[in-house]
Chains A and B, each alone.
Chain A
Amino acid sequence: MSMDLVFRALADPSRRRLLDLLHAKNGQTLGELCGELDMTRQAVTKHLGILEEASLVVAQKRGREKLHYINPVPINDIADRWIGKFERHRVRALADLKKMLEE
């Protein structure tokens, strides 16, 4: 899976919003996602397609419905490329501190 596809998919704010929605509630239908977004159904379908191509979203059939799941593995692959296993705790601690101070 190419990292270019992942970065391209993440470059768009609407697609990041879709990932936020799936992060908050995993396994949603197209209809549920459309209900949360100010976009046409076609636009949401297109964005989901680009996210699926980058493997950031996985669609699984359940009966007649298709449920969409966020797949964070490609983002983890990117993190692993530049963040060492032992630095991760420190980076996480700094991120937690930032979050706490900004709340």
Chain B
Amino acid sequence: MSKFVYVTYIQTTPEKLWEALIKPEFTKQYWVGVSQISDWKVGSSWKLEFSDGRVADTGEVLEIDPPRHLVVSWQNEFRLDLKEEGHSRATFDIERTGDLVKLTVTHEIDREGSKLIEAVSGGWPAILSGLKTLLETGKPLQGWPS
């Protein structure tokens, strides 16, 4: 089993965080320009799409309970060595703690030394920092001097 767990605390509401997680107009601002495409029912297909229409990852909605819990199966589609590993599992848990909302993202696959998990582990911390900044300031993370 290869697994990573990421946690961030965000000053927002579970409902706003849920929207920011699944709606393309939000994800495009903090998640390297990708959109999650699904009709968000158990068993529905799910995909992560780059802004130019290329498909990054595909899978299925396994569990969904807005605005608290989402599990998708997740297979890479643009790197053959990662695609060969098959489906991983990404879980999003949202819970209110005081005036903050705790987001836990778990990404796991049933194999040791997974390259897929290693690859996504480089991305998640930056995505979650960007999500936090977007929700708390209303602005995407900016690198240009203002």
Contact = CB atoms under 8 A, between A and B. Distances in A.
Do A and B truly interact?
Answer: yes
B132 interface: yes
Contact of A86 (B6, B7, B143): B143
B128 interface: yes
A85 interface: yes
A87 B142 CA distance: 11
Given A27-B3, A80-B133, A86 B144 contact: yes
B133 to A, nearest CB: 7
B56 interface: no
Contacts of A86: 143-144
Contacts of B132: 77
Interface string B87-100: 00000000000001
Interface residues of B, number: 25
Contacts of B33: none
A71 B143 CA distance: 24
A1 interface: yes
B141 interface: yes
Interface string B108-146: 000000000000000011101110110000000111110
Contacts of B128: 73, 76
A85 B132 CA distance: 15
Nearest to A84: B143
Given A80-B129, A80-B133, A69 B144 contact: no
13 contacts: A27-B1, A58-B5, A58-B6, A60-B5, A71-B6, A71-B7, A77-B129, A80-B130, A80-B133, A84-B143, A85-B141, A85-B142, A86-B144
Given A74-B8, A79-B129, 7 more contacts: A27-B3, A55-B8, A58-B7, A71-B7, A73-B128, A75-B125, A84-B145
5 tightest CB-CB pairs across the interface, nearest first?
A85-B143, A84-B143, A76-B125, A69-B5, A86-B143
